[in-house]
Structure 1
Amino acid sequence: MQCDISMYKDWTYSWFIGNNLKSSTPGLTITTLSNQAGQYRCVGGRTGRPQWSQLSAFLPIRVTDYQPSTTLTSDKEDVFTGDSVTLSCTVESSEWTFYWYRHRPDSTPVTTTSGYSYTLSWVSVSDGGQYWCRAGRGDPVYYTLYSDPVQINITERPVAVLTLQPNWTQIFIRETVTMRCDIHGGGDTDWDYRWYKNSQLFSPFNTKPEYRISPVYMFNSGSYTCEGVKGNKLSKTSDAVQLTLSGKPQPVLSVSPQWLNPGDSVTLSCEVDKTSTGWRFSWYRTVPYRAGLPSLSDSSYSVETLSDSSTGTTESFYTLSPAGHTGGYVCRAGRGDPVYDTLYSQPQFLWSGDLQPSVSLRISPNTTQHFRSKSLSLSCEEKGNSTGWRLMRYTERGLESGCVSNWGSITGSTCTISYTYTWSSGVYWCESGSGEYSNAVNITVHAGDVILESPVHPLTEGDSVTLCCKYRTTSSNIKADFYKDGVLIKNETPGEMTIPAVSKSDEGFYKCKSLDKGESPESWMTVRVPPGSVVSISLPRLLCGLLVVSPFLLVSIVLMVKCCRARGLCSTVKSPQDQI
């Protein structure tokens, strides 16, 4: 014990226990306390004035007959890596220094603190184990007893894993999205969940591991994360999942082949965005617009499900076998639960050039190629009781209905295009209000000076056909070479080429070329093989027979052919029956 008097330095100190003088010394050291408990105070004296200080206040000295103990507590006993843990060591009285131990109490202290608490920050698994404490004071140090141990259990922090369900790479507006937060390494399942969007907490308490958005919109796009919460413990935050939304998709339908031969099978292929998956595909035939039926967005057609595709297919293709004749088709895709449907595709058409029993499309001039700035007439010639026929065309500008003012004028059943443009090129056909179709005609409008006059309709084996090469400014034929599938087949002709009896091998792309005037586009010539056995008579064989039977008749025919050529009648087709 020490007696401090602030003024002067030459004091002699007197020590009292109660009112009894114990000693007079500069300081008081008590080496044995067992029988010296009591109320201590001191006073100072000196030879000069003032001779005495005031008496100090009493300082109680209490002597116990046991070594004091310490109590160790922890604010957490089960923690995750990265957390902090605070240990507290309590002891009677004050002025202690605290010693902290791990694994063994008689080991070197982990650390020493002047305060009664010790915090372990950003703990790792290696920081786990048993901890002790004790306190000490004085010189030499007097120690308390060791505390009882406290067990600190440190485990790796569980990891939150966020997934999108279904796990599609591309999500479209109005679909249903479920985000699932799974806690890996978290032991039991007694977790609550927090959800973040773009690092902002938007769902602070959720007892279920799933968060559903139905339907989703563009404003739901963003970066999503989640974490698990259990009491005062948190899992690691999940890696971010980017939710990117696109507008409602429209699949693309393709038809192969698009021009039909009798008995052919045709494949419809439907493709949604290439990066999206999980679709089921449905297939439809177009019909004239009818209220009450599913319809395309522009009401150009209603649609009817193909009979064997009502439930949809996982395959993105559908086979029509046999395909039938000219008609329009669309597709649509759906996925998810509830089912999310795309838009209908734009209609695609399967075309047949064969004449139909109900109506035929006739054109004038009767050829597939036409000069730009000329007139062209198209007529829907009815053969049955069908009504409400309209002319349709499919050009680079898309599908157009009716003989409307921006491309033609109509008189009765005939549409007249008074001035053709290159964008008038396309496929033309007629269709009725009851869904019947005519033959289709592929028309090419050429801005150049040379065209090839070729048949509009398919030929039948044995037919005779004449192809003519025409120059814009003259009505007569021009001297030209003829090509089939890019190969020269006849050169230096007077502007026309006759095949007296066509066969399937004559089918292909034809064009003509003039050395000084240019060349025509290519046109496809179709040759049909008639069912069963058909007797065909070639032109040379016919002429030989006529020569034997009637020389006079033969001379008349030759003169008639010359007259027709003089008038420029080309692209003529004669069947074997016509020739007999």
Structure 2
Amino acid sequence: MSFIMFLAAMSLIELRISGAAVRSFVTFTPNWENVFQGDSVTISCNVRSNVQFSTYSFYWYKNNEMMSINEQKFIITSAEENDSGDYQCWTGTGNPSYPARLYVHSKGSAFRPVVTFTPNWRKIFINETVVMRCDVESTAQGTQRYYWYKNMEMINKEQKLDLTIIIATKEDTGDYQCSYGTGSLSYPIRLNVNPYAPVILQAPPYIYEGDPFTLRCHSWSLYKYEIVTFFLTDNKYTQAEKHVLYIPNANTAMTGIYQCTKRLDKSLSSYRTEKDETFILIQELFSDPEIRHNGSSVGGDLTLTCVTRLNPVKATLGLQFAFYRNLWMLQDFSVSDTYRVPSAQLEDSGNYTCDVRTYGCSVRKTSNMLSIQIEELFSYPEIKMDLDTIHEGDDMTLTCGTTLTPLRDTTELEFAFYRDGRNVQEFSVSDTYRVPSAQLEDSGNYTCDVRTSTDSVRKRSNVLYIQIHIKHVVYFPLLELFSYPEIKMDLDTIYEGDNMTLTCDTTRAPLRDTTELEFAFYRDGRNVQEFSVSDTYRVPSAQLEDSGNYTCVVRTITGRHESQQAAIKDIAPLMREV
């Protein structure tokens, strides 16, 4: 069913918001009319009103034929030439959108000629004059021939730089293109010739962000006018007694439906108000930038790229790029769209953005924010010793411990060891340092370094103080094998003829209570009983000459552990005369 037939079958209700009729308009993302084959394009139906999108129904048409799409937007994932055409949407209320023309081109030369109009209006009245020019690079101008096309068909056999329409007619409406020599066709530019309306709103064929542009509320010369008013949806611009509106700097937010009203005076007593409206697309010079990175860990190369797409019509436009981390500039504006950190470190982590601008700085855009965390390639090393205490002559082993990140666990590391800042073992794949027989001079503050084989990352351990101790000869006290002996007599007083018995009393150590001992007895230093296992000395019938100072000595059988002699005790005269 055609668009016109569908509208005729519907009962149209004009919805008015804030006193103005609601009219949808179509936009493209990226925000330009010319795309290449294979490009992705999002086509959206926009409505400027206070009503939520969810309350609308959406109907889509291409070249006046209904499409089987009922969403607010849809995506052409890979554009083909047959996707070219006029797209319109309708919300079921108000008026349908104006056609938005999408041109899909095969990828040819980056340079294409550009068609310009003089005067620079895309809509004119019949009988007016317009001059079209095929602009090419200055280096390409010469004796080459120019070719002109209307709606993809060749016209104008004269093959000149300019194509002039002296007296425009309705039939001159169409898409115009040119080519130069054997080069590529220019992008199309549309001319609309209006034969009937008393007032037309004129705008340039193409308007790009950053451009100054002029709108003209144009009427037939036979009318005089007094008041001209311009509208952009809810924005109102009024310029009394003038028919133009000058806007010094276009931006994409100005895309929308413009309207102008004009009071026309036929005579002193007769006037009427006429209006016209048109959809104006403010095209992007380049898309919003996106910052991307290759991912990095400590020591790896970090590469950031500021990605943007140029409007195909502006393919030769020069851009400049700048990069920031945490809002601090890292790389000033230049033609390079990349920023490189040859050996990223932890301190390179942060929030990154990039800016893109034109050479004249008329347009500048900031990317999304990209948070980058530089991953630690390996942990800070910790130096350890295998023993708690080291003495002279001990074997000492130090270990430099670290852990690789799981994603880079095959990275080869090298280790070096230092004492008091001086290298004691050069970098190698061994994470240990050994001292076979430590000496006092091996004492000191030890550290170790870990690095990658390329030395792109190097880390130092904590400080470990090691004291080599003197190895003392330790004398353990000998346990007493038996106690010092004590000599005892069985009687307090001895008389001549009494039996006298002396005992050499000692106590063995508990763990050596089976040790065999020998005993000897002395009187006044003279032996009276040789060593034997008997600990007693008997005098059967004591005589006066048996009086004296008695001692005893105890020893082991081997004689190796002879005890000290007991203190000599004065024994009272053991006998009395009878």
Please state which band the TM-score falls in when normalised by the shorter chain. 0.3 to 0.5
TM-score, normalised with respect to structure 1? 0.33
Compare CA radii of gyration and give the structure with the larger one.
Answer: 2
